[in-house]
Amino acid sequence: MLQIIDRRNDSKNKSAVNRNRFIRRFKGQIRKAVQEAIARRNIADIDNGEKVGIPAKDISEPQFRHGRGGRWSVVQPGNDRFVTGDEIERPEEGAGGRGSGASLEGEGLDDFVFTLSREEFLDIFFDDLALPHLVKTQLARIAEYKRVRAGYTSTGVPANINVVRSLRGATGRRLAAGGPYQKALRALRAELAELELCGDGDSERAAELRSEIARLLRRIEALPFIDTFDLRYNNRIRIPAPSTQAVMFCVMDVSGSMDDEKKQIAKRFFMLLYLFLTRTYEHIEIVFIRHHTQAMEVDEDDFFHSRETGGTVVSSALELMLRVVRERYASNVWNIYCAQASDGDNWDADSPKCRDMLEASIVPLIQYYAYIEISGGEPQNLWREYAKVKANHPQRFAMQQIAGLPDIYPVFRELFRKSLA
Amino acid sequence: MNKKTHALPAGSEWSFASLERYDREIGRVAGEYGLDCYRHQLEIITAEQMMDAYASIGMPVYYHHWSFGKHFLSTEKSYKRGQMGLAYEIVINSDPCIVYLMEENTLPMQALVIAHAAYGHNSFFKGNYLFRTWTSAEAIIDYLVFARNVIAECEERYGEDEVERLLDACHALMSVGVDRYKRPPKLSLVKERERRKERETYLQSQVNDLWRTLPQRQAKEATEVERRFPEEPEENLLYFIEKNAPLLEPWQREIVRIVRKIGQYFYPQRQTQLMNEGWACFWHYTMLYHLYDQHLLGDGFMLEFLQHHTNVVFQPPFNSRQFGGINPYALGFAMWRDIQRMCREPTAEDREWFPELAGSDWRASMDFAMRNFKDESFIAQYLSPKLMREFRLFNILDDADEPRLRIEAIHDEQGYRALRQALADQYNLGSREPDIQVWNVDLRGERSLTLRHFRYQGRPLGDTRDAMLKHVATLWGFPVRLEEQDERGEVTPITEVKIDRRRENHTP
């Protein structure tokens, strides 16, 4: 009888394991390829996977095979000109007429090109990035617990019963509780044996002994095999796990001078930052601030999608940030980070004010401040003021310029490179 | 009689009911022609699953290895870019014979695949002597499950990297890990499992015995009469390593064995590609025409079928841009058709060249040819002058010592035999692949392994030899040398890899 089996709904991705093995095995080469792709600045889109090529010779699977030379006798179809004995020039490399044995089995030396999925790409991209100076670990606000084994308890739920322990306890209890009976039993039996030996096996005393022995045996029998008292349960306790607390402030300029393209770049930068933080750190808080002449704390959705716009006063955002820090993130507990993106076009008098604020109150509070300026040409006034801050705090303050979409990845790597401290 | 009620479903959409009807009709015709097949089961899969199947050589279960991931990635890439279509079917030489049908196929396509794979290939698997002696259709799936479990277990115990390194080396040697002449014992899951433990201890004890004698300085005269080990050269490198490599752990021997067994299982497929594909094409063509003649198939169906069929059996000439060597489907199909023709309507030439075929019962003659030949002998036996003319075959000799290529033979009276011999040799795996054998082990000295390459037609080894020697050395654990013997019998050393795994392991 014919069997037709519909496999279409079977598990997909049967090759996922092999695919992961491949990526794991050639991680070094793939990482290099990704870095080269980034350095060539030809990655503009993180929403799709990325095509990478790694040298074919690195991943070749060699077999014994023939090389050039020797005699190759080859039969080909479609003769339209030759007769036996004709001699012809050896064709150039790669042209027809070569022995199929040699030319067809040779592996090309081109790169092996394949597509990394977005996830795989980001994993590799973020692999050696980290938040700098992530040091303050505080047990003050513990949200994280680990459950660890901690011996046994006498109370618990049935699922946690430890059978070995419980039975061992029961055996011990039976031995202990039965001990006196056993002792008496041994004495009585010895006496009875003596009587029987002397031929007094039918005496009254012997009958008495026998009934006493039977009584004791019943007593021993009556000891419960296992008692609720014996039950032991695996015990697990929660212990606090130290976790670092960090908060990232994302400050984005949405003023009128930021045209659509610049906004696009800023958003992509923050998108990348957001992915990096959420994928790399389990517990991190992110505060989104957008500003024009006024600053506003918004949620993730508004941050990336709202279209409100106006003039530019950068200090408004810094003020808001300071206020949020004071209210919610007392700095001895929190690792505070800030990433700011702007086109650098600030209201003239405001830039020095920003510098003062940074120098006086913000930089001392935070671990790391990253500023990106999105402009193709000359640095703007904000850049010049910030450069002074950087000169004073080279460890904690970083700034980079982004001219176009392809710069995002290299700049991002520059800002968050893992330091080999 | 009303033809409409008997006609098979038309249109391009397939359904389970229509597949069943087609299968029943094709099965009936196959029965009329006397095709002897395993039972079969059809499995409907998606394109993605087809790519998965590609990556594991079509097998429904396979162990894990990065190289399968690599194949998957490259298939996926070329498929998604539209550079390559996927095969319409995959058929597995097992009992029951498993045939994968892609869901994207149209109904005529599915019918073609059923005729081609479920009856054509299937009967070839069951009948051909190579498959009968080298493979055990009823045991292969079980064996693959066994293999996957063993390898997964080893990965857990000894680490993925360790197993991967071993598999890399074994895969490299897979093509020189087959017995070409000996008959392998049947595979059986139960026996394998039972024997595995036994074999491990036994093998280890044998190996230890081999190496028990401490290397000692021998007197001069003793070395002169010293016998080679192995006494006869061994062509199956993996077998030799499995049985004799001194430093392999039992589990490593087991993995070497698994790769070797699987390589052996696929060996007949490589030896009979032309025959097998030609056979399947012949039968889908013959059976679907039979159904058409019985008015069961419409003209629309036949047009679509013929379009696919002619694409598959097209042979571009050597100077065409599409040319990629001789198309095994084209030549195979033409040869089987030609045999049928010679049996039914022989010409004077056929009577002269193939007196035993001319006028015989074509089914019996074809059955005999299918059962008892492989590509090489099949061509040497059955390629007719008429086909050589039709394909306009010619033979070029490329001798590295000569400045120009020479046409040795063409499709004419003087050339037929030479041409046929040359083409048969082209399908001889023994001459297509380098002939490398285990020549000697230096038992008394440094325990080095010497491989010897027997040069055929003066062809040297390719540039992979150094990488390959490293793989051999990984398995052997001691130095490995490679030497070459030319056609006059002169031996020259080529290269060697120095390695001593004991020292590596023992350095802190």
Contact at CB, B42 and A4, closer than 8 angstroms? yes
- Considering only CB atoms, which chain A residues are within 8 Å of B375? none
Q: Please state, in angstroms and rounded to a whole number, the distance separating the CA atoms of residues A413 and A126.
A: 8
Q: Based on the structure, what is the number of domains in chain A?
A: 2
**Is the backbone peptide bond immediately before B108 cis, with ω within 30 degrees of 0?**
no
Percentage of the residues of chain B whose pLDDT score is greater than 90 = 57
Q: Which residue in chain B has the smallest CA separation from A89? A: B404
Using an 8 Å CB-CB cutoff, list chain B residues near A26.
66
Domain containing B13: what range? 3-128+272-305
Strand, coil or helix: A338: strand
Chain B, nearest residue to A78 by Cα: B317
Say yes or no: B278 and B368 in one domain: no
Residue B49 lies in a domain: yes
Confidence band, pLDDT 50/70/90 cuts, at residue B208: low
Assess whether B332 and B423 both reside in one domain: yes
Using a pLDDT cut of 70, give the percent of chain B over it: 90
* Contact call for B457 and A73, based on CB within 8 A: yes
Q: Which helix (H) or strand (E) holds A252?
A: strand A246-253
Where is A114: in which H helix or E strand?
Answer: strand A112-116
- B97 min Cα distance to partner chain A (Å): 11
Residue A50: its chain B contacts at CB < 8 A? none
Claim to verify: residue A221 and residue A253 sit in the same structural domain: no
Cβ burial of A281 (10 Å; 0-12, 13-18, 19+) is: middle
Q: In this predicted structure, what is the pLDDT of residue B449?
A: 92
Q: Are residues A401 and A266 in the same domain?
A: yes
The parent domain of residue A278 ranges over 246-415
The reported pLDDT for the residue numbered A13 is 75
Residue B45 host element (H or E): strand B40-45
Residues in A touching B103 (Cβ below 8 Å): 8
Answer yes or no: is pLDDT of B184 > 70: no
Q: Which of B387, B392, B379 is nearest to B317 (CA)?
A: B392
CA dist A176 and A169 (Å) reads 10
Nearest by CB to A62, which of B320, B398, B467? Answer: B467
Q: Do A8 and B46 touch (CB under 8 A)?
A: yes
Do residues A287 and A367 both lie within one domain?
yes
Judgement on whether residues A165 and A279 belong to the same structural domain of the protein: no
Residue B320 domain flag: yes
Residues in A touching B172 (Cβ below 8 Å):
61-63
The overall average pLDDT reported for chain B is 87
CA distance B397 to chain A (A): 4
Name the CA radius of gyration of chain B, rounded.
Answer: 26
* Record: contact B317-A13, CB cut-off 8 A: no
CB contact under 8 A, A12 and B461: no
Mean pLDDT to the nearest integer, B288-315: 92
Task: Examine the domain organization and report whether A323 and A195 are in the same domain.
Answer: no
The vertex-B255 CA angle with B497 and B58, nearest 5°, equals 110
In a domain, B102, yes or no: yes
Same-domain pairing of B328 and B286: no
* Last-in-domain residue among A236, A255, A271: A236
Does residue A230 share a domain with residue A167? yes
**Which one of A213, A236, A259 terminates a domain?**
A236
- The verdict on B66 and B106 lying in the same domain is yes
- Are B10 and B301 a contacting pair, CB within 8 Å? yes
The reply to whether residue B66 touches residue A22, judged by beta carbons under 8 angstroms, is yes
When mean pLDDT is compared across A61-65, B274-278, B282-286, the lowest value belongs to A61-65
3-state secondary structure at position A62: coil
A268, A388: one domain: yes
CATH of the domain at A354: 3.40.50.410
For A76, which of B56, B68, B394 is closest by C-beta distance?
Answer: B394
In this complex, how many residue pairs, one in chain A and one in chain B, have their CB atoms less than 8 Å apart?
266
Tell me how crowded residue B399 is: count the other CB atoms within 10 A of its CB.
16
Predicted pLDDT at B183: 64
Using the beta-carbon criterion (under 8 Å), do A80 and B43 form an inter-chain contact? no
Q: Cβ distance A298 to A324 under 8 Å?
A: no
Mean pLDDT of B128-137: 88
B374 and B296 inside one domain: no
> Could you tell me if B328 and B422 lie in one domain?
yes
- Write down which residue in A195, A218, A236 finishes a domain: A236
Can you tell me the mean pLDDT for B410-418? 92
Tell me the Ramachandran region of residue B438: left when phi exceeds 0, alpha when psi lies from -120 to 50, beta otherwise. Answer: beta
pLDDT higher than threshold 90 for residue B333: yes
Q: Is A88 inside any structural domain?
A: no
| A313/A315 Cα distance (integer angstroms) | 6
Spell out which residues of chain B touch residue A70, defining contact as CB-CB under 8 Å.
Answer: 399-400, 455-460
User: Does residue B152 belong to any structural domain of this protein?
Assistant: no
* B112 in the same domain as B68: yes
Chain B: closest CA distance from residue A298 (Å):
41
B9 and B104 assigned to the same domain = yes
Residue B175 has pLDDT above 80, yes or no: yes
Q: Indicate whether B278 and B318 sit together in one domain.
A: no
Supply the DSSP string of A154-214, one letter for each residue: S---GGGB-HHHHHHHHHHHHHHHHHHHHHHHHHHHHHHHHHHHTT-TTSHHHHHHHHHHH
Q: Say yes or no: A228 and A270 in one domain.
A: no
| Inter-residue contact A50 to A37 (CB < 8 Å) | yes
Q: Which residue has the tokens 């040795």?
A: B408
B388 touches B411 (CB < 8 A): yes
Q: Are residues A217 and A295 in the same domain?
A: no
pLDDT at position B293, please? 93
Give the pLDDT confidence score for residue A331 in this predicted structure: 62
Which of the pair, B83 or B362, is modelled with greater confidence? B362
Domain contains A152? no
Question: Is the CB of A78 less than 8 angstroms away from the CB of B318?
Answer: yes
Between the ranges A319-333, B133-147, B157-171, where is the mean pLDDT highest?
B157-171
Decide if A23 is inside a domain: no
Position A380, amino acid: Q
Whether residue A92 is contained in a domain is answered as no
| Chain B CB contacts of A104 below 8 Å | 324-325
Confidence of residue B108 (pLDDT cuts 50, 70, 90): very high
CB < 8 Å to A66, chain B:
433-434, 459-462
A contacts of B407 (beta carbons < 8 Å): 82-88
Substitution target from B21, B49, B314 for chain A, most A beta carbons within 10 A: B49
Q: Which of A48-57, A331-340, B80-89, B142-151 has the lowest average pLDDT?
A: B80-89
Whether A253 is covered by a domain: the verdict is yes
Range in A90-94, A174-178, B388-392, B453-457 the model is least confident about = A90-94
Query: B348 and B277 in one domain?
Result: no
Question: What is the predicted pLDDT for the residue at B135?
Answer: 84
Structural domain contains residue A332? yes
pLDDT in tens, B221-272: 444 456 788 888 888 999 999 999 988 999 999 999 999 999 988 889 989 9
In a shared domain, residues A177 and A319 = no
| Strand bridging mode B491-497 / A112-116 | unpaired
CA angle A94, A97, A102 (to 5 degrees): 65
Are A215 and A193 in a shared domain?
A: yes
Q: How far is A23 from chain B (nearest CA, A)?
A: 8
For the CA atoms of B289, B293, B298, B299, the dihedral, rounded to the nearest 10 degrees, stands at: 70
Name chain B contacts of A101, Cβ cutoff 8 Å: 426, 432, 459
How many domains does the structure of chain B reveal? 2
The string of pLDDT tens digits covering residues B24-34 is 999 999 999 99
Is A7–B67 a contact, with Cβ atoms under 8 angstroms apart?
no
Judged by average pLDDT, the poorest of B22-36, B151-165, B432-446 is B432-446
Q: Using a CB-CB distance cutoff of 8 angstroms, which residues of chain B are in contact with residue A114?
A: 73-74, 76-77
User: Does B111 lie in the same domain as B21?
Assistant: yes
Assigned domain for A343 exists: yes
Are B408 and A80 a contacting pair at CB < 8 A?
no
B317/chain A closest Cα distance in angstroms? 4
Closest CA to B40 of B122, B124, B135: B122
Min Cα distance A125 → chain B (Å) is 20
**pLDDT tens series, chain A, 421 aa:** 678 888 888 877 778 888 889 988 888 888 888 877 777 655 555 556 677 888 877 788 888 989 888 888 899 999 988 999 999 888 765 444 443 333 333 334 567 888 888 778 888 878 777 777 766 555 445 556 778 888 888 888 888 899 999 999 899 998 888 888 888 888 888 888 888 888 776 777 788 888 888 888 888 888 888 888 888 999 888 877 666 778 889 999 888 888 888 888 888 888 888 888 887 777 788 899 999 888 989 988 888 877 777 888 888 999 999 999 888 887 677 888 899 998 888 888 888 899 999 988 888 888 889 999 988 778 778 888 888 888 888 888 888 888 887 888 888 888 888 765 4
Nearest CA in chain B to A113: B74
Asked if B361 and B397 sit in the same domain, the reply is yes
CB neighbour burial string for A77-88, b if at least 16 within 10 angstroms, e if fewer: bbbeebebeeee
Instruction: Indicate whether B411 belongs to any domain.
Output: yes
Look at residue B206 in the predicted model and tell me its pLDDT. Answer: 63
Give the closest-approach CA distance of A45 to chain B in angstroms. 19
Residue A278 lies in a domain: yes
Alpha-carbon Rg for chain A in angstroms: 40
In this structure, the answer to whether residues A358 and A254 fall within a common structural domain is yes
- C-alpha A57/C-alpha B355 separation (Å) is 53
φ/ψ (deg, to 5) at B157 = -80, -40
Q: Is B172 in contact with A63 (Cβ distance < 8 A)?
A: yes
How do residues B4-63 score in pLDDT, each as one tens digit? Answer: 456 888 888 899 999 999 999 999 999 999 999 999 999 999 888 888 888 877 788 889
* The pLDDT value given to residue A14: 78
Considering only CB atoms, which chain B residues are within 8 Å of A90? 398, 403-405
